[in-house]
Structures are given as structure tokens and as C-alpha cells.
Amino acid sequence: MIKIEHLSKSFGKFAALKDINVHMRQGQAISLLGPNGSGKTTLIKSILGLVIPEKGNITINGQSVKRDWSYRSLIGYMPQIGHYPDNMTIDQVFALIKEMRKDTHDYDEELIRGFQLNKLGNKTMRSLSGGTRQKVSASLAFLFSPSVYILDEPTAGLDPVSSELLKEKILKEREAGKLILITSHVLSDLEGIASHIIYLQDGDLRFYSAVEELQAATGEEKLNKVIAHIMKNESRVAKTIQ
């Protein structure tokens, strides 16, 4: 579904992504992990066409992201920080985005109702708390029932109830066979959601494996323990999972 081949991106002399090769398939929930600055957002933005890599190819359903931006309608993107016109109300933001996506009228408003944003429709974006802003971003990512979700730190800033609600929604979409790419530093949030892990470090793809495979290789069950084990014993585990 998303194929990335020999992708490299530098900012000046700094190499943010180095020869990345990944094939992401429908039905996978891939957790993109790695330390701060390891290249996760740069990879996501390359898929979205928001960052232009100097080398390599990305195709979505065989269509290159370089020539034609229509592939973006397949993707629901939740950015780390959503930017919206300050003077617009929540209702106006949803109306504007729907107006821009006239190709579909089949809206998924489950999150809007779940987060009770329908009761805050007259509030301006300027007046919203960080968490409520996140709820708007999440609701927009799910609004058009896309085939692919790209979620950058989706639960950051959400209260525990809202975070659970969002996780349940992600799981439901995974069970519906969608492709989900998700970054989070809160590994417990990915427990039970992630089917695969991509681990980036210093712009290198260290591994891309099924969670079950990593659990078997490390002898650990919980995701945070699996990742901690791999980080401590990287070269030995890498041999097992390759």
C-alpha cells in the first residue's frame, strides 16, 4: 500500500533520513518509534508530500507521491500540533474542511460526538485548551473514513478518558483493515494497537518487525519491555529478527 524505496532527506548537511526502505501493507498498525530527532516526523511528512526528499521514491497504491496530490484524499492525518485559523469556531473549521472535500459526504463523526465537540461548536479555535485542539485534530483525521491514518503523537495532551476513546477508535479502524501509522513516546498507548514496529535512530531504519516476532525474540510481553530489551541488546536481537 505505501512503498518507500531508498528514501533520503537532508536539511543542509544534516542527514535526517538515510536510505529508508519500507513496504507498509493494508491492515497493519505500524508504530513508528525512535528517540527525539530520529526522523519520525520527517518520514511522515515525506509520505504526505510536506517534505521533499532529495532521493528515493514513495508510492501509495502504486501512485507516486511526487506527481499528483490526489493520493492525499486516502489519508487521514493528525499532526503533532494542529494549526487552525484563530478566529474560526469549531463548527466553521469542520464546515470549511467538508467544503474542501466535496468528493465525499459519508462522514465519520463518531469522535466529534465522543469528544462532545458538537456542544462546543461556537467556541473559537483561539479560545481552546491544548487538549480540545487535539480533539479537533483527531476528529478531522477520522472524518472522511480514509484508508490510511497517519497519527503523530495522537494522545499527547489528551485526558485519560479522551485518550481511551481515541485508542478504541484506532483499534476499530485497525480491525476494519485500515493501514495505521502512529508515532508515540508513550509505549503503553500502543499496547494492543500496534501490529508492527518501525524503529528509527539517527535517520537509519534499525528494524521493521511484527510485534509478535519482537516478543518472541526478546522473551518480553509488554511493548515497553520489548523495546527496552532491544535497545540494551540491539546487535544480538537484530540478528534474531532479521
Ligand X SMILES: Nc1ncnc2c1ncn2[C@@H]1O[C@H](COP(=O)(O)OP(=O)(O)OP(=O)(O)O)[C@@H](O)[C@H]1O
Interface residues with ligand X (CB under 6 A) are 11, 16, 34, 36-42
Where does residue 138 fall: left (phi above 0), alpha (psi -120 to 50 degrees), or beta otherwise?
alpha
Cβ proximity to ligand X: between 14 and 221 the closer is 14
CB of residue 20 to ligand X, shortest distance in Å: 12
Cβ proximity to ligand X: between 117 and 158 the closer is 158
Cβ proximity to ligand X: between 45 and 174 the closer is 45
Q: Report the distance separating Cα 84 and Cα 3, nearest Å.
A: 31
CB of residue 189 to ligand X, shortest distance in Å: 14
CB of residue 51 to ligand X, shortest distance in Å: 7
Cβ proximity to ligand X: between 36 and 87 the closer is 36
CB of residue 215 to ligand X, shortest distance in Å: 24
CB of residue 12 to ligand X, shortest distance in Å: 7
Cβ proximity to ligand X: between 38 and 218 the closer is 38
Cβ proximity to ligand X: between 13 and 102 the closer is 13
Which three cell numbers, joined as nine digits, stand for 56?
528515493
Cβ proximity to ligand X: between 28 and 41 the closer is 41
CB of residue 145 to ligand X, shortest distance in Å: 27
CB of residue 87 to ligand X, shortest distance in Å: 28
Which three cell numbers, joined as nine digits, stand for 174?
485497525
H, E, C per residue of the chain: CEEEEEEEEEECCEEEEEEEEEEECCCCEEEEECCCCCCHHHHHHHHHCCCCCCEEEEEECCEECCCCHHHHHHEEEECCCCCCCCCCEHHHHHHHHHHHCCCCCCCCCHHHHHCCHHHCCCCEHHHCCHHHHHHHHHHHHHCCCCCEEEEECCCCCCCHHHHHHHHHHHHHHHHCCCEEEEECCCHHHHCCCCCEEEEEECCEEEEEEEHHHHHHHHCCCCHHHHHHHHHHCHHHHHHHHC
